Chain A
Amino acid sequence: AQSVTQLGSHVSVSEGALVLLRCNYSSSVPPYLFWYVQYPNQGLQLLLKYTTGATLVKGINGFEAEFKKSETSFHLTKPSAHMSDAAEYFCAVTLNNAGNMLTFGGGTRLMVKP
C-alpha cells in the first residue's frame, strides 16, 4: 500500500524567508509524486509533479521539489516566501500499477508573516 506523510500541519514563515514543506512517502515501487496547492474556498491546483527523469522538478510560482529515493522524500521549497503563498499544500503519490488513483497527505497550512 502507498501512503504519504506531511510533517507539520502548520508552518509559519516570514515574508522573504525560505519555505520548506516536508513530504515522505512509502512505496515498494517507483512512485509518481505531486504537490497541489489549495487557496481558501477553492479547489486544489497542481503545483508540480515528478514522474520520471530529472529529480529536481520546478513548478509554478517559484516552487520546486526534489525526489530523493534514498530518503523516500519529495520536499517542497521556495527560496523567498510571498504573502500570496499563504495556502494549504498537499503532497500526493500514485503508483504505476495503481491506475490513476492519488493518495493525498494530510496537508500543511502555510502562513506567511509580514
Chain B
Amino acid sequence: DAGVIQSPRHEVTEMGQEVTLRCKPISGHNSLFWYRQTMMRGLELLIYFNNNVPIDDSGMPEDRFSAKMPNASFSTLKIQPSEPRDSAVYFCASSPGDSPNYGYTFGSGTRLTVV
C-alpha cells in the first residue's frame, strides 16, 4: 500500500492567489482528516469526513478555506484568497473506520508558503 498520498509536497504562492492541496487516502479507509501544523498553534484539526460526508468542519479558520471529498479516493483543501498567515504544513490523514480504535495514517504533508 502506498499510504496516504498528498500533493504537492511544497507550494509557494503569492498572497491573494488560490491554492489547492490534494489528498488520496488509503484504499478502504472511510474517514479522512485535514490538519494544519504551525509552530505557534501546533496541530489543528480543520475538517473530518466520514464516507465522503463532512462531519465536523468547526476547525476551518474562515470562509477562505473549503474542503471537498467528491469520492472515496480523493479530497481537496482549497484556500482562496491565500494570506501569509496561512503558511503552514497541511496534513491529510485517513482511518479505516469511524471507531476511535484504529488511529490514523498520515500523509507526508504539504508545506505551504504564502509570500
Contacts and interface: CB of A to CB of B under 8 A. Distances in A.
Interface in B44-100: 45, 48, 50, 55-56, 91, 93, 95, 97-100
B91 A99 contact: no
A23 interface: no
B50 A100 contact: yes
B104 A102 contact: yes
B108 to A, nearest CB: 5
Contacts of B93: 43-44
A30 to B, nearest CB: 10
Given A32-B101, A43-B4, A95-B100, A101 B106 contact: no
B109 A104 contact: no
Interface in A67-114: 90, 94-96, 98-107
B42 A99 contact: no
A44 B106 contact: yes
A10 B74 CA distance: 36
Contacts of A63: none
A18 interface: no
12 contacts: A41-B108, A43-B109, A44-B93, A44-B106, A45-B106, A46-B105, A90-B43, A95-B100, A100-B102, A102-B104, A103-B45, A104-B42
Interface of A: 32, 34, 36, 41-46, 49, 51, 90, 94-96, 98-107
User: Would you list the 7 A-B pairs with minimal beta carbon distance, nearest first?
Assistant: A43-B106, A94-B100, A32-B100, A104-B43, A44-B106, A106-B42, A46-B103
